[in-house]
Amino acid sequence: MAGRMDGKVVIVTGGTRGMGEAEVRGLVAEGARVVFGGRDEGAGNRIAAELGGHAAYVRQDVSSEDDWKRVVAITLDRFGAIHGLVNNAGAQAASPIAKIKQEDIDYLYRVNQLGPILGIKHVVGPMREAGCGSIVNIGSPAGVKGLPMLTAYAASKAALSGVTRTVAVELAPHGIRVNLVVPGFFDTDLLSENTGGKSAELAERYVPMRRIAQPQEMVGTILYLLSDDSLYTSGTEIRVDGAYTI
């Protein structure tokens, strides 16, 4: 049966757990070849083995330009082209502004902002060669509304909105699309670790849909943006948040 992603090669960062893992599995199920990064080698190798020859795991720190060069080289060597990139990897830290640590600001900048910029830089060449491309950046409610204690995270995620708009305009003439997805409350380790295990409870209280989302519920939007279903969609922002941010 034909899949929506047949013939497409996609890189997903932070693909060893959470929404990234769900995206890797969902993309392969729709016919894509996927190279996914992450720092957990055990999980990466296990997921790649389950997906047979359709996916490859590469150890990657998104804030390292050398790692990006290696990921892109391995993807081209293994699958011959790059059509999609999901800048999914992310990190969070919370602190009152009066106690914020410079090391946390630097760290979140490197993972959430520098990483996606370097990723875009290194896939542009192969996407231009392929004649098309779709890049998806993952933002956050902290990047679009005021959420206390999240200054460093908000700064890095709000920056991605600017990056998305800028690069969407710059790359449009080359047939490369760039969009931002803003997840609301998703049931992942990141959210659980940052809410003291109370993420489902908080979602029930604050999300108009009154529930937390499962990582698989992100996959449809990612497939839409990476596939030819959205060929005239670029520079936009899609919120997958049960009406939370509105």
Ligand X SMILES: NC(=O)c1ccc[n+]([C@@H]2O[C@H](COP(=O)([O-])OP(=O)(O)OC[C@H]3O[C@@H](n4cnc5c(N)ncnc54)[C@H](O)[C@@H]3O)[C@@H](O)[C@H]2O)c1
Among 27, 28, 32, 62, binds ligand X (CB under 6 A): 62
Q: Which string of x and - marks every residue 99-118 that binds ligand X (by CB under 6 A)?
A: ------------x-------
Cα 221 to Cα 195: distance, rounded to the nearest angstrom: 25
Q: How far is the CB of 32 from ligand X (least distance, A)?
A: 19
Question: How far apart (Å, rounded) are the C-alpha atoms in residues 185 and 200?
Answer: 8
Q: Are strands 55-59 and 84-87 parallel, antiparallel or unpaired?
A: unpaired
The nearest distance, CB 158 to ligand X, in angstroms, is 12
Q: Work out which of 5, 9, 10, 20 binds ligand X, going by CB under 6 A.
A: 20
Q: Distance between CA 140 and CA 146 in Å, rounded?
A: 11
Which positions from 122 through 181 interact with ligand X, judged by CB under 6 A?
A: 138, 140
The answer to whether residue 57 forms part of the interface with ligand X (CB under 6 A) is no
What is the CB-side half-sphere exposure of residue 23 using CA atoms within 13 A?
31
Instruction: From residue 166, give the alpha-carbon distance in Å to each of 159, 162, 218.
Output: 11, 6, 24
**Is residue 105 classed exposed, middle or buried when 0-12, 13-18 and 19+ CB atoms within 10 A define those classes?**
middle
Per the annotation, the verdict on 153 as an active-site residue is: yes
Q: Is residue 234 involved in binding ligand X (CB under 6 A)?
A: no
In angstroms, give the least distance from the CB of 160 to ligand X: 9
How many other β-carbons are positioned within 10 Å of the β-carbon of residue 103? 10
Instruction: Report if residue 89 touches ligand X, rule: CB under 6 A.
Output: yes
Residue 13 DSSP one-character state: S
User: Considering 57, 109, 153, 206, which one is annotated as catalytic?
Assistant: 153
Q: Which residues bind ligand X (CB under 6 A)?
A: 13-14, 16-20, 37-39, 60-63, 88-92, 111, 138, 140, 183, 185-186, 188-191
User: Which residues carry out catalysis?
Assistant: 153
